[in-house]
Amino acid sequence: FSLEVQMHKALERDEFQMVYQPQINVVTGKISGVEALIRWASPLLGHLSPIEFIPLAEETGLIIPISEFVLRTVFQQAKLWQQTNLLPERIAINISSRHLEQENFVSFLAELLLEFKLDGSIFELEITESILLNDGDDIIEKLHLISSMGMKISLDDFGTGYSSLSYIKKFPIDTIKIDRSFMHGLSSDSEDESIVTAICTLAKSLHLNLIAEGVEESGQYRVLQSLQCNEAQGFLFSKPLSAHDTTELLLKNL
């Protein structure tokens, strides 16, 4: 029952599922976007967190078909929401650096856009800083191609890595997502608050969209509002929801 063997079978057996977590516009209080997140319900191993299987998928290369499944499923969902006038402004998708590095990554995206007749601007690809460390030029070129297709790029888990300002300048980044580890001390005037304040100032001066992740308490939300952080995401608003439940929520949000 090795994890690797089960993961292989999981794709064929349709055991992966996408869930969606709403992102809230801090000014209007309405849903501005959703982040797509993968879930795996294995009949043998139970519910597994992506933290438990994505690293192994990256090591074994299985991340490529999994990531293609993620993109295809989310594009399909976007089409359904578009047809029912429920499409949020943005759908964010986590991209593994292993997939981004594939030669055909950009053409895969282009083909999906064509197939589903969708505008690229619906999507935002979430990448982590580590990818920007690797090789510069090849990745820059890809990100520019993705931008030219209308898609946005966001830096996930910001503040936990190098957070180097030179990356933000060098790469076509649209959005910064403040890592959820900074939310804990946000309503208690701590170091976290100083860091989040600094990131907000940075984002504003660079004209970047800013999303705070892991917002669990209304006190944290109030601080984010006062700092003019654009968007917030976290259990305070909603946990990640099935496609069906997300659709219900989007209906109410109209």
Binding-site ranges for Na ion (CB under 5 A): 156-157, 213
Instruction: Pick the closer one to ligand G by CB: 84 or 104.
Output: 104
Q: Which stretch binds Mn ion (CB under 5 A): 97-105, 106-114, 136-144, 155-163?
A: 155-163
Nearest to 2 by CA among 48, 63, 71: 48
Q: Which two tokens stand for residue 65?
A: 């078909």
Stretch that binds ligand G, among 50-58, 160-168, 188-196, 222-230 (CB under 6 A): 50-58
Residue type, 248: E
Tokens matching residue 45: 């191993």
Q: Residue 92: enclosing H or E segment and its boundaries? A: strand 90-94
Least distance (Å) between residue 9 CB and ligand G = 19
Candidates 190, 207, 196, 195; CA nearest to 232 is 196
Token pair listed for 173: 């980044």
231 lies in the binding site for Mn ion (CB under 5 A): no
Is 240 among the residues that bind ligand G (CB under 6 A)? yes
Q: Where are the alpha helices (DSSP H) in 13-62?
A: 50-60
126 counts as binding Mn ion under rule CB under 5 A: yes
Contacting residue, 31, 37, 146, 249, with ligand G by CB under 6 A: 37
156 binds Mn ion (CB under 5 A): yes
Binding mask 40-79 for Mn ion (x = CB under 5 A): ----------------------------------------
If contact means CB under 5 to 8 A according to the sort of partner, which of Na ion, ligand G, Mn ion, none does residue 230 touch? none
Nearest of 158, 125, 152, 117 to residue 35 by alpha carbon: 125
Pick the binder of ligand G from 24, 34, 38, 106 (CB under 6 A). Answer: 38
* CB under 8 A, 24+ apart: contacts of 98-103: 98/58, 98/61, 98/63, 98/64, 98/67, 99/63, 99/64, 99/67, 99/68, 100/127, 100/131, 100/139, 100/142, 101/131, 101/134, 101/139, 102/64
Residue 129 is a binding residue for Mn ion (CB under 5 A): no
Tell me the window of 47-55, 81-89, 218-226, 244-252 that interacts with ligand G (CB under 6 A). 47-55
Between helix 218-226 and helix 191-205 the angle, nearest 10°, is 40
The residue among 129 and 157 lying less far from Na ion, judged by its C-beta, is: 157
Per-residue contact string for residues 81-110; x = within reach of Mn ion by CB under 5 A: -------------x----------------
Of residues 6 and 32, the one with the C-beta less far from Mn ion:
32
Tokens of 61: 């290369």
> Angle, to 10 degrees, between the axis of helix 3-12 and the axis of helix 50-60?
90
Q: Please state the closest distance from residue 44 (CB atom) to Na ion, in A.
A: 29
Q: For binding to ligand G (CB under 6 A), which residues are involved?
A: 21, 37-38, 49-51, 54, 67, 70, 94, 96, 156-157, 180, 213-216, 234-235, 240
